[in-house]
Amino acid sequence: MNKRLQGTLILALAALVWGISFVSQSESMNYIEPNTFNGIRTLLGCISLLPVILVLDMQKKKKDTYTPMSKTQKTDLIKGGIACGIFLCIASTIQTYGLKYTTAGKSGFITALYMIFVPIVSVFLGKKIRPAVVISILIALVGMYFLCIKKGSFEINKGDVLTLICSIVFTFHILTIDHFSAKVDGVRLSCMQFLVGGTINTIIMFLFENPQLDLILKCTIPILYSGLMSCGVAYTFQIIGQKYAEPTVASLVMSLESVFAAIAGWILLSEAMDIREITGCALMFAAIVLVQLPEKQPDTAERE
């Protein structure tokens, strides 16, 4: 399996976990406030990765492949963790606030607009975008619209504006991960970003919210899933997967979370999918397949 396909599969698994988690995040807003939810689940994600790091280090020591981090790697880990943690905290908190005022479908669609913003910002950073990627993004955008937006129901409200801001912040989160993922260990970077983001959310929780233990306990299952799976597993998969995928492709693959959310609702909650939604899913998957096709190499043979 080539590295590009491997990265795509890892990112698709992350999108699958996020798709299922989207429902639990929305449901939790009926009981607790955004910073309470994000603070607890993000710190839980950090704690869940500590034994993983310990086990991985022990295995490397047994195989005699363990090498301590250099000073440069430690500096990159701290810088990357702080930057990723701040972006993740801002994006996820704004997204959670937005869910109070908009539907889950619209939120999924607007959040996934980072697949448009990432290549735009990448161009300004001097990166070239393959034509196949541009075509795939356009196909995916149409598919996302069919999947998430009911016919004639698109009206802009406060929640939509908040979610659009969230999408822009997620764009910089993706690009920051792209910058640091090749420099430091992915699991450590993921753990560090959760520590930073969760600490910020927790401080805001105690300053501006009113966390109540009985209401938090009512969200035990959503918080556990979101903390262990969405944070601990999926965001770590994102960092690892982005080592092998250019950021524009990574953003496109991760936007599958909306597709998986719809499929999960159909399978787990018996939520029917109409032909419009099925068409949207098909277009999204087609876009992912298209972007994986090998690019035709230019003929470099010398001519007499």
Q: How far is CA 213 from the centre of its chain?
A: 28
Residue 201's pLDDT band (boundaries 50, 70, 90)? Answer: very high
- Quick one: residue 126, left, alpha or beta (phi over 0 = left, psi -120 to 50 = alpha)? left
pLDDT of residue 265: 67
- The answer, yes or no, to whether residue 155 has pLDDT greater than 60, is yes
Of 36-45, 65-74, 93-102, give the range with the top mean pLDDT: 36-45
pLDDT of residue 250: 87
Residue with the bigger pLDDT between 182 and 172: it is: 172
| Tokens found for residue 189 | 């970077």
State mean pLDDT over 230-245. Answer: 89
Residue with the bigger pLDDT between 217 and 290: it is: 217
- The answer, yes or no, to whether residue 247 has pLDDT greater than 90, is no
What residue segments make up the domains of the chain, in order of their start? 3-61+71-291
- The answer, yes or no, to whether residue 156 has pLDDT greater than 50, is yes
Across the chain, mean pLDDT equals 84
DSSP string covering the chain: --HHHHHHHHHHHHHHHHHHHHHHHHHHTTTS-HHHHHHHHHHHHHHHHHHHHHHHHHHHHHTT---PPPHHHHHHHHHHHHHHHHHHHHHHHHHHHHTTTS-HHHHHHHHTTHHHHHHHHHHHTT----HHHHHHHHHHHHHHHHHHS-TT-----HHHHHHHHHHHHHHHHHHHHHHHTTTS-HHHHHHHHHHHHHHHHHHHHHHH----HHHHHHTHHHHHHIIIIIIIIIIHHHHHHTTSS-HHHHHHHHTTHHHHHHHHHHHHS-----HHHHHHHHHHHHHHHHHHSPPPPP------
- Lowest average pLDDT, out of 96-100, 127-131, 295-299, goes to 295-299
